Amino acid sequence: MTNMTPLKVDLHIHTKEDEKDRIRYSAYDLIDAAYSRNFDALAITNHDVLTYSPELKSYAADRGIVLIPGVEACIEGKHVLLINMPYEEGCFHSLREVFEQKAANNLVIAPHPYFPGSTSLHGELEANAHLFDAVEYCHFYNHFVNFNKKAVRFAHNHHLPIVGNSDAHVLEQFGLTYSLILAEKDCNAIIEAIKDGRVKLVSRPLSLAQLLVIFIRVFSTRRFTWKKSVQFIRTGAGFIRRVIQRPSSCATIP
């Protein structure tokens, strides 16, 4: 196993098939982009819908990519990444149900757990630490503002692996943060390797200009209700406030 080449993996990406956002690229376009950027495995994790089929799996496999079933489910108002789990919208009414139904070959990840916004886990991560197999390190940060830092502390305190994901809604985000996983090129082997901690984060802080461009572009993909508009604006305001209040704070990557 020590002679293996680590796999380049992203387990949190959205595509046009996500009915809750206006994303321009399809699942097939994403797979093509992943092939051009030398990715080995992906999970398409649209909101509350499983974007996965034999045709998609075969399309990815023809390009040397392992497509892993995934979804970003909203459970009790909080976002949770369910990887390689059976899913239909509304099938989990509580985080406890996820824990009770989770199998050995399933992976539950806490996405952007401490980012501003009501759908981030925040205190629910601590209250349900036993449920999660890994914690996400999201690409959206810079040297001055990094909401991943609290997630890193939580992961270390609970001996959980950290996985790098893009949470891409525009292709410019894809590849900014990802994981290198020491495993055979197989869905179950990748999940086992993550749980064993055989994963390395690859990421870098973005410039303020990059953050602003990405924020505006992602803003344009949202299908907004008034509630979602307020929440998204609060997220941006949270970043701006942190830049103003904590200019000496510096991001670190474990």
pLDDT tens per residue across span 167-194: 999 999 999 999 999 999 999 999 999 9
Asked if residue 238 is part of any domain, the answer here is no
Asked if residue 90 is part of any domain, the answer here is yes
Q: Of 103 and 252, which is predicted with more confidence?
A: 103
Asked if residue 232 is part of any domain, the answer here is no
The burial class, CB within 10 Å (0-12 / 13-18 / 19+), for 224 is: middle
Tokens of 54: 């034999």
Examine the pLDDT at 232 and tell me if it is beyond 80.
Answer: no
Asked if residue 95 is part of any domain, the answer here is yes
**CATH number of residue 15's parent domain:** 3.20.20.140
Which residue range is the domain that position 32 belongs to? 7-202
Beta strands 66-75; 134-138: pairing state: unpaired
Asked if residue 237 is part of any domain, the answer here is no
Domain count, the chain: 1
Q: Are 44 and 15 in contact (CB under 8 A)?
A: yes
Q: Of 239 and 167, which is predicted with more confidence?
A: 167
Examine the pLDDT at 48 and tell me if it is beyond 90.
Answer: yes
Side-chain-side CA neighbours of residue 246 (13 Å):
14
pTM beyond 0.85: the answer is: yes
Report, in angstroms and rounded to the nearest whole number, the Rg of the chain calculated over CA atoms.
17
Tokens of 133: 């197999």
The dihedral built from the CA positions of residue 15, 26, 108 and 189, taken in this order, carries a sign that is negative
Q: Are 9 and 180 in contact (CB under 8 A)?
A: yes
Q: Of 35 and 229, which is predicted with more confidence?
A: 35
Q: Of 222 and 236, which is predicted with more confidence?
A: 222
- Please report, rounded to a whole number, the percentage of residues in the chain having pLDDT higher than 70: 86
Rounded-to-10 torsion of CA 183, 186, 189, 191: 100
Asked if residue 91 is part of any domain, the answer here is yes
Average pLDDT over residues 44-66: 97
Beta strands 41-44; 7-13: pairing state: parallel
* Closest alpha carbon to 234 in 136, 118, 95, 146: 118
Q: For the ranges 76-85, 105-114, 227-236, which has the lowest average pLDDT?
A: 227-236
Q: For the ranges 179-183, 209-213, 232-236, which has the lowest average pLDDT?
A: 232-236
- Please report, rounded to a whole number, the percentage of residues in the chain having pLDDT higher than 90: 77
Confidence band, pLDDT 50/70/90 cuts, at residue 3: confident
Averaged pLDDT score across all residues of the chain: 90
Give the tens place of pLDDT for each residue, 80-101.
999 999 998 879 999 999 999 9
Asked if residue 68 is part of any domain, the answer here is yes
Asked if residue 132 is part of any domain, the answer here is yes
The dihedral built from the CA positions of residue 119, 123, 124 and 125, taken in this order, carries a sign that is positive
